[in-house]
Amino acid sequence: MKPYVILNAAMTLDGKIATKTGSSEISGLEDIMRVHKLRKDVDGIMVGINTVLSDNPKLTTHKISSNDSDNPVRVIVDSKARTPHNSNVLNDSAKTIIAISKEAVLDENYLDNVHFLEKYVDVFVSGEYKVDLNELMKYLFKEGIKTLMLEGGSTLNFSMFKEGLIDEINICIAPMVVGGKYSKTLVDGEGFGFMKNAIPLKLKDILHVGEDLVLKYDVLNIK
Ligand SMILES: NC(=O)C1=CN([C@@H]2O[C@H](COP(=O)(O)OP(=O)(O)OC[C@H]3O[C@@H](n4cnc5c(N)ncnc54)[C@H](O)[C@@H]3O)[C@@H](O)[C@H]2O)C=CC1
Ligand SMILES: Nc1nc(O)c(N)c(N[C@@H]2O[C@H](COP(=O)(O)O)[C@@H](O)[C@H]2O)n1
């Protein structure tokens, strides 16, 4: 059993979720409010370690009227236990789970930080060098996370698609173009070699949210 996973992201019309410098303020205010209401409705919210390093996100419902009990459990996919000590995701506004790989506990270069993180958060170990996302989903479900919002970035998004773990996509398209072959797109990773392997989707809703457009899709190849 696994959580129902909703990938939520904001991209420019040309499909970028951040520039090459990591700048990523894309959603308009109304979309931010929509996202924070969605955060309040789900049990968990998950990002990759590069998103933590780049944005230092809070991953709480702080943009809407709410209290700490409304915050979802934060989940960080962090194979080498690189979450910095001063990260906002380590504050006590919400529970945090950091998923690491076996390498992080076997290699003394990473072990000190594992011990540090264990003082503040739940640490879940799976996979040899990279977090095993299937194992992680099973663990989160057992921990009571029945709905999980995936908030990026591009690399984790691809891995989650490849494993067939995403059920739904909510994508905000902002009326802007940024370009750049080194700018992150909605889904990067290694990608598929042939269109016949593309993830099939079904459009289920189109919303005008302020100046932005929000498209909602069901993913048709889930496990
Ligand atoms: N506009 C938007 O909605 C959003 C934009 N972003 C942007 O995305 C950028 C970060 O994206 P990325 O660099 O692609 O990094 P990412 O946030 O997807 O993290 C990827 C890292 O996670 C770790 N990882 C561990 N196990 C993994 C597995 N099984 N599969 C995949 N990754 C695994 C690896 O260290 C990997 O390099 C930032 O610039 C951030 O601002 C991030 C979220 C939302
Ligand atoms: N919905 C949305 N729109 C954007 O324009 C974004 N850049 C993001 N980014 C995601 O939100 C995280 C920041 O969250 P906090 O406000 O600090 O809680 C960021 O790390 C991305 O995951 N999302």
Q: What ranges do the domains of the chain cover?
A: 4-219
**With a threshold of 0.90, does the pTM exceed it?**
yes
* Residue 200 CB burial class (10 angstroms; 0-12, 13-18, ≥19): exposed
Q: Give the model's pLDDT for residue 223.
A: 61
Which pLDDT tens digit goes with each residue over 3-57?
A: 999 999 999 999 999 999 999 999 999 999 999 999 999 999 999 999 999 999 9
Q: Give the model's pLDDT for residue 194.
A: 97
Q: Which ligand is nearest to the CA of 17?
A: 1
Distance CA(223)–CA(184), nearest Å, equals 27
- For residue 123, pLDDT beyond 70: yes
Q: Closest residue (by CA) to atom 44 of ligand 1?
A: 152
User: Which atom of ligand 1 lies at the shortest distance from residue 26's CA?
Assistant: 1
The 10 Å Cβ neighbour count of residue 124 is 18
Q: Which ligand is nearest to the CA of 15?
A: 1
Distance CA(89)–CA(85), nearest Å, equals 10
User: Which atom of ligand 2 lies at the shortest distance from residue 153's CA?
Assistant: 22
Q: Which CATH class is domain 4-219?
A: alpha beta
Is the predicted ipTM greater than 0.85, yes or no?
Answer: yes
Is the distance from the beta carbon of residue 18 to the nearest atom of ligand 1 less than 6 Å?
yes
